[in-house]
Every structure is written in structure tokens, then in C-alpha cells.
Structure 1
């Protein structure tokens, strides 16, 4: 099989006659950001092609609210190992029926080790398939061995190489739509700082509670930034409003700049969030979807990471992105080895933070340098 240089791994020969591409990647905002460099590579390798993301409702919302390489989204039905939720056989059948009607030329699997996602992808009945797979996964036409500790965007680019697509970007790039940028002052009102005042955006949430930096630590950084003249806005979805309020309380409790720290959690749609993150002078967050989105929008970021997550999802550069690492290797409650992760290692039941030991003073030094205070 033909191979060319220039990829993350081998770049195999291109398939012929490819104009309609399906790409499977479920999950949240971060998961979509991980896939976007591969989307750009595929579209460059197959000029004039369209890429349909087989994704989730939040992906559909973000694609509609931003400019990205994805052309459209087919929302996945609930299915084991692909999208959580009670499975409806009729909905699954309808999804595959609609996908087959599109007559995809190429279907690419970027959704994990393939135990469930490879059989799911094969039911789309594309002419060609490529993806990753564990030893027990159903093989695709071209399959990359799946190992857990690999940087996810780089893994996606290596899979794209199987389909004949060398990289054109190493990291995701998206832009907010003009209408959301224009309406942001009306949405946020007095919370949005005037031109010239530095803006720090904080996101204290994450899907896995073990990735949560303590509220008090976020509050200490917010307080220091406000005291140095920045406006600090805490973001989150509706489920994170109490968490955001707690960060504000921790910051305001002993702050001379109390009025400069406020929560806008639950107030922003995806387009508004994208516009705000693009406007920020710096974003401080856990390893979370909003941090990955901020990076894709071009905002400087400071990320709080457990070391294993930094291997799989950390930013590549350090000029605009800073990373603070926790090197904890055992659960602080039961002592379980938390480095043994992935599909072969069951997770211990404890949700205690693995990043609590990261010190706020070091984090704020990086935040302050990005804000140029």
C-alpha cells in the first residue's frame, strides 16, 4: 500500500471518488475540538468534500454557532459505548437509515478504541472506513492500534493519515459568528468590562470531578486578578451555577475589587460563550470543554491538569498556553493507582480532586503574565 511522508504516522494512499465523509466522535465540547484538526486534514486531502460529524447535541449547537471545518452534524442516537442514555431501537434504526441515504464514501472513527464504535460505524455502510481499534475491536478497512496515553488531536491526525490525509493544522481552529459577537454587550450588560480593562474568564467545572481545582484556589486567583485591575467572569452551564457562585464568594470575601468578580454561569448559549472566550485576555480553567474551546478560539489559557490528562489533552504550545500539573498517581482516599486507566482498568469509586495540590500563587503568576498586568 502506498505511503507518503508528512504525517503524524504513515500517510496511506487516498481513496478514489471521495466527496462525502462521515466522522464519528461523540462526547462534549473538548471531544469535538480534538477531532477538528483531522476534519481539516480530510477536507484538504479530498478537495470539495463535505464532512458530516456524527456527534451530539452540544456539537450540533456549537457548529451552528461558530465557523469551523465541519459542514453539518447528524445527532447520534443513544447507543452503548457511543452516546449514553436509554436506547430506542426505532431511533437507532432511523439514524442508520438516514445515514445510508447519504451514501457516504468514507467513514472515519475517532470515538475511542472501537469496541462499540467500530460496529456502529460499519452500519453506516460507507464505501471505505478508517479508525482506531483495541485488539478486541472489530477491524475497519484501515485500523490504527489504540493505546490510551496518546494526545487525542494527534491520534485523530494519525487516523486521518490512514485515509490519505496529512495534517494541515495541529490544533483546532474555530471563530465565533458575527451576530454573537455583536450581541455580547447586550447579553452581559455591565458585567462585560469596558475596552482597555483586562478580562479574565474562569471555568471551574469539568465532567470528571477529579479534575476540579478547589473553589478556594479559583477564588484566590480571581481575587488577585481583581485587585490588580482585571474584570473576572466565571462561566458554566446551568448545572454549574452553584459552583460558579461559590468561586465568586471565595473571591469576594476578602477582595478590594469585589465588584470586579461575577458569575455569568447559566446565562450564555454556545454562541455567546464562544464570543466571550474569544474576547478574553486570558482563560483559566480545569481540563474542560470551555478551556479547549477557548484555545481553538485563539484565547490565551492557563490549564489545571492531572499529568495523565495533559498527555492526552493538553495544549501543544506554551507561548500562549500555560499548564500546571498535578503528579498524583494514587487516589487520595483508597490509594488505587489512577494511572491505570482506559478500557482495561475499572475506575475506583472516589471523586476526590487529583489536582488540589496545585498552588494558586504559581497559577496566578501565569495568569498575570498573560493579562499583562
Structure 2
């Protein structure tokens, strides 16, 4: 007789999920959170995440009920590395008496040690190859799987099989209103729109700005409307792209909220970008993309749909990269040529529209509202 899964045996009412990471990482966990919610629809699910993730929890309210802000710790570089806030944090967590704590942060090690301090009745997560066995539902870190599939593997082990593996990004009425205003103000033409996004959190993950500019010029010469996107903090980079271009382009850096950017991506015919958060937004919105992946582990981070999302990468011996700034002359970026990106972009633009765009030149707001 097959023993019951941990979820079936425990019937948890209060669940804490630890994943204190940035946007792209959080989007890759959405299928796992969806599977968890489907398995325990009445449980209260709290995300232990970075402070910014309050917006994530609000957007994914159907999957997550609450954000608990992680105070940071040594070994977790997404925030200032200090253990100062941990004693009070652990005390608050133990008072909550969670039935289950799930480590979705990474491969194990210090993340598991932190998880144990939450004081839940049962724990679940991943273990590294040399890590001591842990009580609860822990599986070996599935290093060969793409990022979303890793967390789905843990959900399956817990008793929450996946029935939907898509990345999704729900759009709100405010997002759609923002896009309407943006389209009117800038004269955006959905049927011609190509987004060029040169930014990335780490300099080692950025393809050169002048190469993005050259790609944009080629596509503009083909008749596409180019829009340069990015955050307000990335304005020097986006301005460098714009300044290196011969053709005119819309400069939208800092002009959108996250939701407004997602609506913009959903309307675009193509996104050309680095391997960063907007790549995962394009995957979630089912919008075609060309991703120049510098330094990252493409086996782990490449979108699952290899036809809709084309990844271009070079593989020197130093890859995958662990550096913020490349100390080796950045061969993984420089060995991806402008001609490769232009040719791939043209192939993507020539393809028949995908499922999200099928049967229409420009998406209706009703379609967008139900994308996720």
C-alpha cells in the first residue's frame, strides 16, 4: 500500500513558503505555488520573501495569502547580509505555529537551517549532495531541470502534482489603463511594436548597449517601431542605446509600473532582451522574445518554450558566471554577434502569431485581462 503524501497526512492549515528572491525568480515559482494552492485550497499560505514581494502577493492573491518580510541573513546576498533581525523573526514565526514550512529558496544548506528555525510541525525542501538527511519531505536538488520544473518536482513529492506548468502574470484594470495612456501619449502601434530591453541587475549579464542599438536600427529599417524599456535607474543605459541609434525610437525607461510593463510586453510583437526579469514576463505573457544570455545557466533559466523564446548564448569555460563584473573580457557577451540577433529577431517576427496573439493583430483588453 502506498503511504500517503505529506500533504495528505498533515492536512496543513497554515503553510509558510520561503523564497526571498527577485522578480524573475518569483515568476519561475508560480507553477509550484499554483500546484500547492490546488492541493490545499483552504490553507493559509504565507510567503517569506523580500519586502518588494508585497506587490507580488497582491498580484497573485489567488495563490498566496500573505507576505512575511524576510529580514536578511548572512549567506543571502539579495539583502544586506546581517543576522541582526533573525532572533526576533524566528520568535515571531514560532508563535505562528505553522503546520508546514517549505523551502523553495534554493538547493538547501543554509536555507534549510533557516527553515528549521521557523518551528513548523513539518518541513520540506531540497538537499545538496553532501548535506545530512533532514526530517520531513526533502528531495535531492534536481540540478539538471529548468528552474520552474525544480519546484514542481518538490510539489509532486509533497503530493501536489502540477496540472498547469505555465508561467503567468495576471493583469489588472490599472495595468490596462496604464497601457492605454502610454499608447495614446507615445503613439504606440501594437502591430509594429518591438521592445528592446538592454538592462539587467548584474553587469556581467548585459550584452553591450551599442549592440542593442545596432539591432534596433536594423529592425527599425525593416519597418518595426522600436521602444527602449527599462527602470528609471537604468536610464543611463537606455539613453546610451538611444544615443547610439540612427533611427528614432520611443524611450520608455521609467515610464511604466511593473504591471504596465507587462501589458506593454503582452502587446509587443517581439521582446529583445538580456536573460533577466523581462524574459520571464515575456514567457508569462506568451509574447515572442529573443534573449541574449550572458553568463547565466541557460539550462536552468531559459524559457521552456524554445520556439516562442529563442535564446542566444556563447559558452566559454568560465560559464556559468559567478561574478558581478566579468574579469575575463566578457567573451560570453562579445561572442554573440549583432547579425545573429538580427537574423533571429527577423525569424521570430516572420513566424505566425502565437496562441496569445492568434487571430488578431492587436490584443483586445478583454483578451489581456484573462491571460493569466
TM-score (norm 2): 0.83
In structure 1, the residue matched to 2:343 is 365
Q: Does 1:293 align with 2:281?
A: yes
Residue equivalent to 1:73: 67
Check the 8 A contact 1:50/1:71 in 2, yes or no: yes
Partner Cα distance (2:326, 2:271) in 1? 31
- 1:288: how far off? 0.3
Pairwise mapping of residues 36-55 of structure 1 onto structure 2 (< 5 A)? 36-55=30-49
- Does the 8 A contact of 1:112 with 1:133 survive in 2? no
SS at match of 2:334: coil
Task: Determine the structure 1 residue equivalent to 2:209.
Answer: 215
Does residue 158 (structure 1) correspond to residue 153 (structure 2)? The answer is yes
- The alpha carbon displacement at 1:371 in A equals 3.2
Moved more, 127-136 or 63-72: 63-72
> 1:205 aligned to 2:199?
yes
User: Paired residue for 1:243?
Assistant: 237
Instruction: Sort the Cα spacing of 1:26 and 1:101 in 2 relative to 1 into closer, same or farther, 3 A.
Output: same
Match of residue 263 from structure 1: 251
Q: 359-368 or 170-179: which moved more? A: 359-368
The answer to whether the 8 A contact 1:130-1:142 is kept is yes
**How many equivalent pairs are there?**
348
Is 1:129 the counterpart of 2:117 in the alignment?
no
CA deviations over 1:103-141 (Å, ceiling 9, x no partner): 322211121222221121122222221111222467351
| CA deviations over 1:207-250 (Å, ceiling 9, x no partner) | 33222111122112211222222222222223311111111122
Distance 1:128 1:214, change over 3 A: same
Structure 2 contact 98–121 (Cα < 8 Å) conserved? yes
Asked whether the 8 Å contact 1:114–1:133 carries over to 2, the reply is yes
Match of 1:313 among 294, 301, 305: 301
Q: Which runs of 4+ in 1 moved over 6 A?
A: 346-349
Cα distance in structure 2, aligned partners of 1:248 and 1:67: 38
Supply the RMSD in Å over aligned alpha carbons: 2.9
Residues 1-373 of structure 1 correspond to what in structure 2 (within 5 A)? Answer: 2=2, 14-65=8-59, 69-82=63-76, 83-87=78-82, 89=84, 91-134=85-128, 135-136=130-131, 139-146=134-141, 148-187=143-182, 189-195=184-190, 197-251=191-245, 253=246, 255=247, 258=248, 261-306=249-294, 309-330=297-318, 338-339=319-320, 350=327, 352-353=329-330, 354-372=332-350
Equivalent residue of 1:355, what SS?
A: helix
Closer/same/farther in 2, CA of residues 319 and 150 from structure 1, 3 Å limit: closer
Specify every segment of 5 or more residues in structure 2 that has no aligned partner in the other structure, as ranges: 352-372
Change (3 A) 1:94 1:279: farther
Instruction: State which drifts further: 286-295 or 223-232.
Output: 223-232
Distance 1:348 1:248, change over 3 A: closer
Moved more, 71-80 or 152-161: 71-80
2:356 paired residue number: none
Partner Cα distance (1:372, 1:3) in 2: 52
Between the aligned partners of 2:79 and 2:107, the Cα distance in structure 1 is: 16
**Which deviates more, 294-303 or 96-105?**
96-105
Q: Tell me by how many angstroms 1:192 deviates.
A: 4.8
Query: Helix, strand or coil for the counterpart of 1:161?
Result: helix
Counterpart of 1:335? none
1:149 Cα deviation after fit: 4.8
The 2-side partners of 1:3 and 1:306 are apart by 45
Partner of 1:303, secondary structure, is strand
Is the CA contact (8 Å cut-off) linking 1:67 and 1:176 kept in structure 2?
A: no
Find the aligned partners of 2:302 and 2:223 in 1 and give their Cα distance. Answer: 29
**CA deviation after TM superposition for structure 1 residue 347, in Å:** 9.0
Where 1:224 maps in the other structure, the secondary structure is: helix
For structure 1, the 5+ residue unaligned runs are 5-10, 331-337
Describe the shift of the 1:72–1:201 C-alpha distance in structure 2 as closer, same or farther (beyond 3 A): farther
